[in-house]
Structure 1
Amino acid sequence: MSAWIRMIADEDADDTLQEVLNLARTPHGTVDNVMRVHSLRPSTMKGHVILYRAALHDDANTIPMWLQETISAYVSILNDCDYSLANHWKNAAHLIGDEDRAARIGRALHDRDPAAVFEGAELALMRYAEKLTVNPGQMEESDVTALREAGLDDGQILEANQIVGYFNYVNRLLNGLGVSTAGDVVGYYAKAEG
């Protein structure tokens, strides 16, 4: 566990915190530092878990999961958030399923040049994610219109908006409290050690 504030370990949790820690457990059975950093205020941890799962892991989402994770990674690059980038780029690369393609996409995102690897709806989503992250006060209706014109429906536009909004929130939470991946199992699809 690593952050600039105290985090409570499972063995020191009271019943209220233990209940929320159990809600926050990953498929590996662990609680990542991104959630554990809330341990002094279990209500914000509970809200965070619910928001995260609704934005990124909801069965109703129709944007392909690899693209959801790629959007997440791009927002994290734009915000210089190493924690989220480590987790969500690992997930995206796994879901892309092609090492060469993933490497090309990763380079393009780090270069802030998604047009080098994307076109159509995928490129429109990356442009939307960048503008909403870097210049949120300059968003206009035409930014949403561009997504529609690229073939996305309003539900998918909402999905993208929520993913971008969530990662802007969590990147600031992580960077603002110095949360690191120390002790975490990095990536949703990683195998737990042990």
Structure 2
Amino acid sequence: MAHIDLGLDEAEYPGITGLMRYRPETAVALNALAEALLHAPHPTLTAGERELIAAYVSGLNDCNFCCSSHSAFAAAQLDGGMPLVRQVRADLDAAEVSPKLRGLLRIAGAVQESGQKVSAELVDAARAEGATDLEIHDAVLIAGAFCMFNRYVDGLGTRLPEDPVAYEETAQRIKIGGYVGSA
């Protein structure tokens, strides 16, 4: 049970979905942010890569709901599927991702610890692998936003879905409709 009374069946609306229904006026802004960061067209990063950054940071934050959700969302949009997502979360250095994406994930991991942990060396290393300023910006913003989303979900003690298949079903809706279209 969530730390506050959401006034709804938490089993039907687990994690952030219940919180969004509780405060629809903030849900609009949060969904718009998720849409812009993760689903909207991007000149170079795929939706799957951006979802992978969200899943990676959520895993580092031990946010089970967000890590499971965005792992499923990334898996639905990446050629490597869930095995690739698990590789990245288990051992970034050995994961079969591009050196550029690995550099962006390292930056995101630094943001998860503290924004001040993002060093010129990390940025230079990502640039050396082909990362653009826009990609570095967006990796930092996704990581920072997911630290906020993770703390929102966990800080209010939301429930996890009882059936893990729920993440896969939601992933298909997000893949097609995004965050604003599937809300």
**Ranges in structure 2 where 5+ consecutive residues have no aligned partner:** 175-183
Q: How does 1:33-48 map to 2 (within 5 A)?
A: 33-48=15-30
Q: How does 1:24-173 map to 2 (within 5 A)?
A: 33-60=15-42, 62-98=44-80, 102-103=82-83, 105-110=85-90, 113-117=91-95, 118-173=97-152
Whether the 8 Å CA contact 1:35–1:48 is kept in 2: the answer is no
What RMSD in Å do the two structures reach over aligned CA positions?
A: 2.8
Q: TM-score, normalised by structure 2?
A: 0.76
Structure 2: distance between partners of 1:81 and 1:72? 11
**Ranges in structure 1 where 5+ consecutive residues have no aligned partner:** 11-29
Letter in 2 for 1:56: L
Letter in 1 for 2:73: N
Cα 1:146–1:98 change in 2 (3 A) is closer
Q: Kindly state the Cα deviation for residue 177 of structure 1 after the two structures are TM-superposed.
A: 0.8
Q: Kindly state the Cα deviation for residue 158 of structure 1 after the two structures are TM-superposed.
A: 1.8
Query: Which whole-Å deviations, capped at 9, do the CAs of 1:116-157 have from their partners, x for residues lacking one?
Result: 013510210121111111243332333322222210111122
Structure 2: distance between partners of 1:94 and 1:171? 21
> Quick check: which has more Rg, 1 or 2?
1
Structure 1: distance between partners of 2:127 and 2:55? 23
Letter in 2 for 1:88: H
